Structure 1
Amino acid sequence: MEIQALLEQTDRLPNVPEVVRQLIQQLNNPAADYGEIAEKVGKDQTLSLKILRLVNSAHFGLSNKVSSIDQAVVLLGMSRLKTLVIASGLSGSVKEVEGLDLKKFWSESFRVAALAKWFAERSTQVEPDMAFTAGLIHNIGRLLLHLAQPMRAQAIQTLIEEKGCSRSDAETERLGFTTPEAGQALLDMWKFPSELGLAVRQHKQPASFEDPSALAAVVNLACVVNASIRRGDDLATLQSKFPADIAELAGTSPDTIGNLDEALNMESGLDGLND
């Protein structure tokens, strides 16, 4: 099977709002007019209502009710609002996926995004908003596979459970490619920044690539911590498993491993977008 066969099923691809695509495409542009983007968000009733509902939730703890996107920009800052818009737009891009618990999928993606941003804030090489977005979409190739080829997706899951093999090996055997490779192809088709596609493709084993991406390394660290949270690991267990070579590749500060208790207790604050 070819990746192109997935991408050609346009009626099954995630339906990402145009303003969200524009925002992601502008992540690398220091001259981007975010005021114009905020105005477009305000005109998208579904998107703005989801964001305002989340901003007014207990997680943000604002003393006054926020009633407009402009007000949210003032109170939260454009960087924080950007991440909310991107998370809201992407998580709302599909309503139902056969064989995939969509609420769990996005909850995990939200946490990986928050963790990736946390690591990027401790890195000399990675921009935090880019890291958040990369973490959010690191598994978008798997979502694409479930949307376009649900029976193949289920066959891969069965193979993993029966043989105990890795997902990458099962995908390669059944498809001839991996879902991170499919994810990169989808992001390239959407004309997202190339470094996002590269990070998605490399995030599982960034050190195995000839020219490894620091952004991919940050996402990999986020996935390591997320897996520890999922298993219920304590701090000592996480620290013992923490990949020092990937942390170096990510450009994180040496004291990061000593502060992993903060990451281990990370909550994205975005699960309200799933309601």
Structure 2
Amino acid sequence: MRVEELLKQTDKLPNVPDVVRELIQLLNDPDANYSDISQRVAHDQTISLKILRMVNSAYFGLSRKISSIDEATVLLGMSKLKTLVIASGFSSSVEKVEGISLPAFWADSFRVAELAKWVAKRTELVNEDEAFTVGIVHNIGRLLLHLTQPGIALEVQSLVNNRKASRVKAEQDLLGFTTQDAGKALMDMWKFPVAMGDAVQQHKRPFTNDEPQALACVLNLACYLNACIRNERDSDLVREGFPMAVAKGAGLGEGVLFELDDALIIDDGLNQLLA
């Protein structure tokens, strides 16, 4: 099987709003006109309602009710609004997927995104917004597989659950490619920045190439920390197992080991977008 066979099933692909795709394409553009994006967001009823509901929740604790995206932008800043738009746009991109609990899938993706942003703040090699976005979409290839080939996706899941193969090996054996490859192909089709697609493709094995990509290393570290949180791993064990070679590839020094406790209690406020 080829990745292109999944992408040809256009009626089954995630339906990511155009405004979200445009925003992602502008993430690393210092001359981007974000006021136009704000206006576009305001005209997308699904996204704007989700964002306003969250902005007015107890999580933000604002003193008055916010009734427009323009107000939200002024109070929260464009950086926070970008975060909310991207998270909301992707979490609304599909309604039902066989074999996947979407609330759990997106909650996990949101936490990886927040962790990726946390790591990116500690290195000069990676843009924080790009790190957040690749965290959101790091597992989009798996979603794509379940949408287009649910039978094979469930077979892969069975092999992993029964410990008969790692997910990468099971996917390679049954598909001839990994869901990280599929994720990159989908992002390329959406015309996302090339570096972001490369990071999604390489993050599980960031040293596949001679020179590891810093963004892929940041995403690898975020996934490691997320697994530690999910498994309630003791902080000493988290530090002991922290992949310093990957951290070096991300542009981090050993001092990050003394900050990991902060990462392990990262908030999950974005989950309110799933309500």
Q: TM-score range by the shorter chain?
A: over 0.9
Cα displacement string for residues 98-126 of structure 1 (whole angstroms, at most 9, x for unaligned residues): 00011100000000000000000001100
DSSP-derived class of the 1:117 partner: helix
Residues 91 and 106, structure 1, Cα contact 8 Å, conserved in 2: yes
What is aligned with 2:231?
Answer: 231
1:253–1:57 distance in 2 versus 1, CA, 3 Å: farther
Distance 1:44 1:245 in 2: 43
CA contact (8 A) 2:244 2:254 kept: no
Look up the match of 1:49. Answer: 49
1:205 aligns with 2:205: yes
Provide the rounded CA distance (Å) in 1 between the counterparts of 2:100 and 2:226. 19
Paired letter, 1:107: A
Match status 1:188 vs 2:165? no
Q: What pairs up with 1:146-225 in 2 under 5 angstroms? A: 146-225=146-225
Corresponding residue number in structure 2 for 1:262:
262
Aligned-pair identity (%): 56
Q: Tell me which amino acid in the other structure corresponds to 1:93.
A: S
Post-superposition CA distance 1:32-55 (Å, at most 9, x none): 110000001011111100001111
Give the TM-score of the pair, scaled to structure 1: 0.98
Does 2:244 match 1:247? no
| 1:163 positional shift | 4.1
**CA offsets 1:71-113 (integer angstroms, 9 cap, x no match):** 1111111011001000000110001000001110000000000
SS at match of 1:206: coil
1:39-78 map, 5 Å: 39-78=39-78
Letter in 2 for 1:45: Q
Q: Tell me which amino acid in the other structure corresponds to 2:76.
A: L
Residues 218 and 247, structure 2, Cα contact 8 Å, conserved in 1? yes
User: What is the CA-CA distance between 1:162 and the residue it aligns to?
Assistant: 2.9
- Amino acid of the residue matched to residue 270 of structure 1? L
- The 5 A counterparts of 1:123-138 are 123-138=123-138
Secondary structure at the counterpart of residue 162 of structure 2: helix
1:89 corresponds to: 89
The one-letter amino acid paired with 1:32 is A
Aligned pairs, number: 275
Residue identity matched to 1:63: S
How many Å separate the matches in 2 of 1:59 and 1:248?
Answer: 34
Give 2:79's aligned residue: 79
Structure 1 gap segments, 5+ residues each:
none
How far did 1:174 drift? 0.4
* 159-168 vs 221-230, which moves further: 159-168
Kindly provide the CA deviation profile for residues 153-174 of structure 1, in whole angstroms up to 9, marking residues without a partner as x.
Answer: 0011112233432100000000
- Corresponding residue number in structure 2 for 1:34: 34
Contact 1:120 1:252 in 2 (8 A): no
Aligned-partner SS, 1:207 = coil
Deviation of 1:221 after TM superposition, in Å, equals 0.5
Whole-Å Cα distance in 2 between the matches of residues 220 and 101 of structure 1? Answer: 23
Root-mean-square deviation (CA, aligned residues, Å) is 0.9
**Unaligned regions of 5+ residues in structure 2, if any?**
none
Question: 1:11 — aligned with what?
Answer: 11
TM-score, normalising length: structure 2: 0.98
Poorly superposed stretches of 4+, deviation over 4 Å: none
Equivalent residue for 1:106?
A: 106
Contact persistence 2:198–2:216 (CA under 8 A)? yes
| Residues 99, 154 of structure 2: 8 Å contact kept | yes
